[in-house]
Structure 1
Amino acid sequence: MLGMALLTTPAVVHADPVDQSKGRFEDKFRQLEGEAWPTPTDYRNAAGEPGYRYWQQKVDYRIRATLDEAGRSLTGSETVTYANNSPDTLRYLWLALDHNNYKRDSIAELTRTTAGKELSVGGVRRAKRMQTWEGGFNDLRVTDANGAPLPFTVVDSLLRIDLPQPLKSGESLSFSVSWTLPIPETRVVGGRSGYECFTKPGEDGNCLFLGAQWFPRLAVYSDYEGWHNKAFVGAGEFTLEFGDYDVELTVPADHIISATGELRNPEAVLTSVQQQRLAQARTASAPVYIVTPQEAAAAEGGKPSGTRTWHFTAGNVRDFAFASSRKFIWDAQGVKNADPAHPVVMAMSFYPKEARPLWDAYSTKSIAHTLKVYGDFAFPYPYPTAQSVNGPVGGMEYPMITFNGPRPIKDKKTGELTYTERAKYGLIGVVIHEVGHIWFPMAVNSDERQWTWMDEGLNSFIQFEAQKTWDKDFPRGRGEPREIREYMLSENQVPIMTNSESIMQFGNNAYGKPATALVILRETILGRETFDFAFKEYSRRWAFKRPTPYDFFRTMEEASGTDLDWFWRGWFYSTDHVDLELADIKKARINTRDPEIEKPWDKLQDDQKPDSLTSVRNTEPTVVETDPATRDFYDATDEFTPTVKAKKKYADAMKDADPELKEALAVKDSFYNFTFRNKGGLVMPVILKLDFTDGTSETVRIPAEIWRMNPAEAIWQYVTPKTLKQAEIDPLWETADTDVANNAFPRRIDPVTLSITDDEEASNRMKDMEMVVTPDGVKTQPQAKKAEEKK
């Protein structure tokens, strides 16, 4: 393990401008400033907030698109207005064509890997579909404001427009793009959008369409990277520029649309009754059906004819997504909001009948809960609508709209739809998570493609808090320290500060570990009040701006008044794990120097030592016991008898003794010395619970700085008049300690339950397993696996 190596290997394993090559000491508390963090600038200052010269680009879109339901495709055109707020002159612009990852010659498609030994049914279906279907943007055409063609070049999932005239700082440019786009069948080829059709026997044959990354979007140009032109290859999500959107979507006349922004023409697409329901929902105390189950069922069985155009606008957003289907049931409820610009937020859910009765019970109410909790942690919800749409995407977020997957299942006996406890909590959790993303990163606009944890980790942290305030018995998930312990020991672990495309365990690394780190930072290290102030300050500073990790780290330190470099280094820059051991406790007392106290004490300690084995076995009377003549003065006294000389010497010494010395010698408290060992390498506070013989307990929270002189071992002292019975570190499992068996002293005997198997079952099991010796001890593994390894 890396953590153990750090304790035993003299070589320093990190780049450090301070020479620490002599000896084995490693400074876990050295500063990250100047070593791993970029130098502050006028754009991003040393306090972690936007500098006085901070800038970002602005991009506005006017989009017109048509859904071809039968052809499973979109046709669209857009007029883009690009404002160059940077201090630089731009000679070309980069646009993102993320759906190009579905092209057969894309980096994403050509670099797909496989385990080689197995192929799932889904894998077979995808492979066959990609032989006959190809996604990506087609029929691309780019023109200037006068309609003249502009030259462009497509590079994998990016498009470069070469400008006829350089775009200077402070100038704006308008141009147009048109395209066609095949829509992927999500459950076959995967992805964050697409369509799903209900064509199995007994189903109605209709489809759901989810539109995301469906139009060419301007890539980011930033102060810290310039053009963000890393290709989309699957994992790293979408960092974009803020702007205003005006979007018209033409769809079959019986479709219902959910989309980013506000609906501007309800009178053209909704019945008068549906419009009345929408107005009623704004002040309702519970969700109200805008489109009822009965109306959706009628649309499913009808004969579609003609089209309708839905008009949406959205201000200061970084993306636009939509969902369209005749199957949609729609419910909504107004939620009071602290943002004066949006005092009421319309929480809305769109779902097919296959999602009932789960969705109508929990989706919109989960949105409302999310608005409150995230508003308290960060800032009030900044938009007029918050929507949850059921479809083939398990969970994905866009401004004001989210795609969420959980559905009920059919009861095998009755055929009716019902839901399990797992599905219930799964839906609540995913709605909280995806709607929470509207804060991070849809408003606090971090770079998802470079630092996934900045949106997924921060969001999972607040999701954990929101789930705990939904139901105190909400199943433990990402954020609970005890749940991350196994991953902290994994050899397939990379530091949190790793690019999204290079993470081996995405869920644990980008979601679970950073969420856990922030829970520990809030509950154990800073305390709730201090943490909450700092986190809210970060959220406020970087709302509608583009933070980097260093801005987050610096803000949290500056606003909390706490040096946290050791914490970021251990949790975010290393793969060390937490394993603190309470190795030993020594009980000490003050030597009073008084022979009439010290000699009896010494005798008591000597009497507690066991006799030798020979003495125990010699049962016959000794000579001294049987012959009184052999006894003399020395048999009546021993080394533990206070002598007259010793008592006089003590009395004389105390006559002229310093008063402070006399006071110190009179202390009768016990001095307990605790030996703590850091076996995992990651320094953490030591939470020490003390149980005393009088039945009382006390918990002492020792800051992580206890490890600053020696990150491997520390001896700590505690003084008390009480008698200690038992001690334990991390009693509530709050630090993600990977081995709690070494936390108590004296060691506990832990209870386990043994399962009884019959002899035949045990024999068969042993035939399938063999014993192998590993560096961690003896383990078993299947013979088949061993044979394969030998090949």
Structure 2
Amino acid sequence: MKLKVTLLSAFAYIGLTAQNIQNNPGSNHGNKFEQLGTILPTPNIYRAASGAPGQGYWQNRADYEISAYLDEDKRNLKGSETVTYYNNSPDDLDYIWLQLDENQQSNIKNADYDNSSTLPRMASDQQLRTTDLPAKDNGYGVNLEKVTDASGNNLKYVVNKTMMRIDLPKILKKGEKFVFKIDWNYNIPNRIAKGGRGGYENFPEDGNDLYTMTQWYPRMCVYSDFQGWQNHQFTGRGEFALVFGNFKVSMNVPADHVVGGTGECKNYEQVLSSDQLARYRKAQNANEPVEIVTLDEAKKAEKNHSKQRKTWTFEASNVRDFAWTSSRKFVWDGMSVTIPENNNKVMAMSFYPKESYGLYRKYSTKAVAHTIKTYSEFTIPYPYPVAQSVEAANGMEYPMICFNYGRTEKDGTYSEGIKNGMLGVIIHEVGHNFFPMIINSDERQWSWMDEGLNTFVEYLTEEKWDNKFPSKRGPAWTIVDYMKLPKDQLEPIMTNSENITHFGPNAYSKPATGLNILRETIMGRELFDKAFKTYSKRWAFKHPEPADFFRTMEDASGEDLDWFWRGWFYGTDPVDIAIEKVTIATPDLDAVPKSNEVKYKVDKPVQNDFEDISKIRNREDKNITFYVDKDKDVQDFYYRYDRGQEKVDTNKEYSFKVDNMASLDTKDKEKFKNITAYQIDFANKGGLVMPIILEFTFEDGSKLHDKSSAQIWRHDEEKVSKTYYFNKKVKSIQLDPMRETADIDTSNNFWSDGGSGSESSKFQVFKQKQQDGIRGGANGKVNPMQAAGKKN
């Protein structure tokens, strides 16, 4: 889901500090490059150390048959569902959990996750209402009418806020299934006034509603190998953890409504006019959007509120959720798109009111097609038969259908910001078909595995839409303002969804930026893309956890990235690498080497400084015979020397000359005459290690580039130096010239010749002489054997 930035300040949550285990916390090295070790869960038969699903991996499944009745006059939804739940786990289950997400809209049934509140400087009449103590029921939330087993017997159940536990009449064992039925209803909230993902939007000018029916039915919670039941309360922020299954859904709506939903409609012949059905069939083979319900038809339908009813029937296989939309205001267009990777023919479609016609008719369906094709390149081939975009003044995603914004002015014009925002949100929400609808992470716990990964591929897709597209998330420089914030306003990415203060940057931008840095700067595109596709393939239609992603990225690339996960995902340190000083040195090519006389004495017998207990006990043990004592052939001079049987004057002083350097000849001087050396001293002021990327500009205007990997910091995480030798003068040095690393302070990233932070020096250059001797020789020193005049 793409949240508007203006909404983020409404949330204020206390952050958590991520686990930061260090073996050497008192040192300036050896911490940032430690393996994650026990921070990650231990691999097992369900989840392998490689990051792949293990040989014992399992997941449960739920199939749904649902009938829905939309009462437009009362703005009420009445539903009846039959759920078949399959226990594929190795565990016996004596109860099951379902989600009642609509209870979040109730003021008495919600999750009760309060936020701090203060006196306003100004208030609207809507805000200035008497505080009800105790709270009075606002009429929203799920009303359960009946909960029974397949035979109609009542089941015992308990509702805990937004969660519902059904106590099973008997243990549900591995391989067994349980069939139950629920009848319910709820008052549909005004989504624009109350907020939230589902509800209705009213158009006062024509008196019509546009319904987005989401989280509208009691949904099974996930039971998994890593958590058991994921039954954390729904607060409105942390999204969803859901099981895969098959859906058969019928929606009874006013006869003049147009319905779009997850999966494929099975009765277009009964609900469409003959002209509309003909246009739909034409769209199935069109490479340009065809209006199935035209603008004129939508305008006419707005004026006549039918009292007749129609039932639309949809089916979807292997999906984790089902959402739908209904309104008489809809224009509906569609076209066919083929996914090259699997030759899947998909219907790309859009539904939108006349208020969006000037933008959606031109762009929406084409953006849908572009998105599923581009995501297929970077992840897995799109497997479903349908992909749909609905203009509903918001941004939210479901399998095969999503809700977006983008309306024109009344005269049909629009700003470039609205156009780009619309394209961005369509790409983002359609992209969610891959993350998390197929690669089915637990959004309730880890928002970043959903929003962050999707925002990253959204950025790649925006780039392939238009190289000039003004992407707000993904490029490294766009995260800098967030990374600059004081530490008490930051949480690690690895923080539960409900506890994040700056949700947008933390869950969307920072993980997306991190992946882009991995792709462009640390791993390179070839290694990254292969690893990312491997993760997507491994965990398609499964439930991945963070460790599965981290391990797969390393397993498939051969890159040790624990330092990156530790710093970028588990930490809050920013990147701030500074050029502290540049020392310029020129060679003294006329230097004359000096011969050094080395004085020394012959080595004394080799003996331990301390006779340890093992040596003493070994000598006392009459059962031990030492090899050198029984084999006289190995008793050489030093056997006797160490035992005092050979005498050597160890006080006598000897000397030899070290003369391994020679002056340069004319040819060498000419070769090195233009060499200048530059030692660049760097400081890690931010704390987060990153590659050091440099651009050298020379006096002749030419440029050279160099990159040192982040491992340059492994022996000293605070300061490092790098020396370069050039045969022309450096005019300036720019650190991170393309702003690839999210460095929060670029003022210390530049050095110019003659500026501050420079020192000059000289260094002598000699020619290395060829040395005599063999490997392991004494290099001219007299050894004790020579001093004693012995050869053995």
- TM class, shorter-length: 0.7 to 0.9
- Tell me the secondary structure at the aligned position of residue 537 of structure 1: helix
The equivalent position to 1:160 in structure 2, one of 161, 165, 182, is: 165
CA deviations over 1:370-407 (Å, ceiling 9, x no partner): 01210111011111110111114x10000000011221
Partner of 2:190: 185
Amino acid at match of 2:510: K
My pick for the range that moved more, 719-728 or 81-90, is 719-728
Which residue type is aligned with residue 101 of structure 1?
Q
User: 1:551: Cα distance to partner?
Assistant: 0.5
Q: Does 1:742 align with 2:742?
A: no
Residue 137 of structure 1 deviates from its aligned partner by 0.7
Q: Does 1:476 align with 2:479?
A: no
Q: Give secondary structure in 1 for the equivalent of 2:45.
A: coil
| 1:117 aligns to 2:112 (yes or no) | no
Which residue of structure 1 aligns with residue 265 of structure 2?
A: 263
Q: CA deviation at 1:85?
A: 0.4
1:231 is the counterpart of 2:233: yes
From 423, 427, 432, the counterpart of 1:428:
423
* Paired residue type of 1:548: E
Q: 5+ unaligned residues in a row in structure 2: which ranges?
A: 1-16, 594-656, 756-792
Aligned match of 1:437:
432
CA–CA distance in 1 between the matches of 2:465 and 2:234? 36
- Aligned partner of 2:764 in structure 1 is none
What pairs with 1:340-379 in structure 2 (closer than 5 Å)?
Answer: 340=342, 343-379=344-380
What does residue range 196-275 of structure 1 map to in structure 2 within 5 Å? 196-199=201-204, 203-275=205-277
Contact 2:28 2:717 in 1 (8 A): no
**DSSP 3-state at the match of 2:298:** helix
Give the stretch that moved more between structures: 674-683 or 140-149: 140-149
Partner of 2:784: none
In 2: Cα distance, 1:707 partner to 1:93 partner: 50
Q: Any idea what SS the aligned residue of 2:490 has?
A: coil
Change (3 A) 1:433 1:18: closer
Aligned to 1:402: 402
Displacement of 1:166: 0.1
1:573 to 1:362, Cα distance in 2 relative to 1, 3 A? same
Q: CA deviation at 1:287?
A: 0.5
In the other structure, the counterpart of 2:5 is: none
SS at match of 1:409: coil
Aligned to 2:92: 89
1:276 Cα shift? 1.2
The alpha-carbon deviation at position 16 of structure 1 amounts to: 6.5
Tell me what 2:282 maps to.
Answer: 280
Shift of 1:181: 1.3
1:689 aligns with 2:690: no
Distance 1:107 1:214 in 2: 15
Tell me how far apart the structure 1 counterparts of residues 67 and 332 of structure 2 sit (CA, whole Å). Answer: 24
Query: Structure 1: which amino acid aligns with 2:705?
Result: T
Tell me how far 1:484 sits from its aligned partner: 1.0
Aligned to 2:35: 31
Q: How does 1:515-530 map to 2 (within 5 A)?
A: 515-530=512-527
CA deviation vs aligned residue, 1:275-310 (integer Å, no higher than 9, x gap): 111111122121100000111111111240210000
Match of 1:338 in 2: 340
Classify the secondary structure of the residue corresponding to 1:368. helix
Cα distance in structure 2, aligned partners of 1:84 and 1:554: 28
Shift of 1:593: 5.7
Q: Distance in 1 between matches of 2:314 and 2:256?
A: 18
For the structure 1 residues 22 and 577, does the alpha-carbon distance in structure 2 shift closer, same or farther, using more than 3 Å as the test?
Answer: closer
Q: 1: CA distance between counterparts of 2:209 and 2:403?
A: 15
1:209–1:325: 8 Å Cα contact kept in structure 2?
A: yes
CA distance in 1 between counterparts of 2:186 and 2:398 reads 19
One-letter amino acid of the structure 1 residue matched with residue 748 of structure 2: N
Contact 2:730 2:753 in 1 (8 A): no
Determine if contact 2:292/2:334 at 8 Å carries over to the other structure.
yes
Mapped to 2, the partners of 1:343 and 1:106 lie a distance apart of 44
**Match for residue 45 of structure 1?**
48
Residues 23 and 65 from structure 1, CA distance in 2 versus in 1: closer, same or farther, beyond 3 angstroms?
closer
Residue aligning to 1:788: none
C-alpha distance 142-715 of structure 1, shift in aligned 2 (>3 A)? same
Alpha-carbon distance between aligned partners in 2 of 1:458 and 1:155, rounded to the nearest angstrom: 32
The aligned runs of 1:482-521 (5 Å cut-off) are: 482-491=477-486, 492-521=489-518
Q: Which amino acid aligns with 1:437?
A: H
Following TM superposition, by how much is the alpha carbon of 1:115 offset from its aligned partner in structure 2, in angstroms?
4.1
Matching residue of 2:644 = none
**% same residue:** 49
Structure 2 counterpart of 1:170, which letter? G
Map of 2:389 onto structure 1:
388
Query: For 1:382 and 1:731, how far apart are their aligned partners in 2?
Result: 41
Q: Deviations over 1:106-154 (max 9, x none)?
A: 3445624434324654962999999673211103311111111111110
Give the alignment partner of residue 677 of structure 1, picking from 683, 692, 708.
683
Of 55, 59, 73, the match for 2:58: 55
Q: TM-score, normalised by structure 2?
A: 0.81
SS at 1:737 equivalent: coil
Partner of 2:618: none
Instruction: Provide the C-alpha distance between the structure 2 equivalents of 1:320 and 1:572, rounded to a whole number of angstroms.
Output: 32
Q: What amino acid does structure 2 have at the position aligned with 1:325? A: S
Q: Give the whole-Å Cα distance in 1 for the aligned partners of 2:423 and 2:687.
A: 37
- The aligned counterpart of 1:105 is 108
1:148 maps to a residue whose letter is N
Which of residues 538, 541, 544 is equivalent to 2:538? 541
Change (3 A) 1:355 1:296: same
Shift of 1:720: 2.4
Residue type at the aligned position of 1:567:
F
In the alignment, which residue of structure 1 is the partner of 2:556? 559
Q: TM-score, normalising length from structure 1?
A: 0.81
Equivalent position of 1:628 in the other structure: none
SS at match of 1:191: coil
Matched to 1:481, the amino acid is A
Q: Compared with structure 1, are the counterparts of its residues 149 and 249 closer, same or farther at alpha carbon in structure 2 (3 Å cutoff)?
A: same
In 2, Cα distance between the equivalents of 1:477 and 1:175?
A: 46
How far did 1:576 drift? 0.4
3-state SS of paired residue (2:280): helix
Q: What SS class does the counterpart of residue 700 from structure 1 fall into?
A: strand
- Give the Cα separation in 1 of the matches to 2:753 and 2:237: 45
Which structure is higher in helix share? 1
Measured in 2, the distance between the counterparts of 1:388 and 1:498 equals: 31
Q: Which residue of 2 aligns with 1:775?
A: none
Output the CA distance in 2 between the equivalents of 1:453 and 1:380.
Answer: 22
Provide the rounded CA distance (Å) in 1 between the counterparts of 2:113 and 2:107: 7
Three-state SS of the structure 1 residue aligned to 2:542 is coil
Q: Deviations over 1:436-473 (max 9, x none)?
A: 00100000000101110001001111111111221222
Does the 8 Å contact 1:457/1:512 carry over to 2? yes
**1:175 correspondence with 2:175:** no
> Within the alignment, does 1:452 sit opposite 2:447 as a pair?
yes
For residues 431 and 266 of structure 1, the distance between their equivalents in structure 2, rounded to whole angstroms, comes to 26
Q: Residue 244 and residue 702 in structure 1: after superposition, are their counterparts in 2 closer, same or farther (change >3 A)?
A: same
Query: What is the match of residue 195 of structure 1?
Result: 200
Please list, as runs of the form range in 1=range in 2, the aligned pairs for 1:649-668 lying within 5 A after superposition.
657=660, 668=673
Shift of 1:418: 1.7
Q: CA deviation at 1:670?
A: 2.8
Q: How far off its partner does 1:717 sit?
A: 1.4
Q: What amino acid does structure 2 have at the position aligned with 1:370?
A: T
Q: Which has the higher contact order (CA 8 A, sep 6+)?
A: 2
The C-alpha deviation readout for 1:334-379, integer Å capped at 9, x for no partner, is 1111364x62111110011111211111111111110121011101
Unpaired stretches in structure 1, ≥5 consecutive residues:
1-12, 411-415, 597-652, 750-791
Secondary structure of 1:507's aligned partner: helix
1:420–1:265 distance in 2 versus 1, CA, 3 Å: same
Query: How far did residue 29 of structure 1 move?
Result: 0.3
Change (3 A) 1:78 1:15: closer
Q: Tell me how far apart the structure 2 counterparts of residues 287 and 351 of structure 1 sit (CA, whole Å).
A: 13
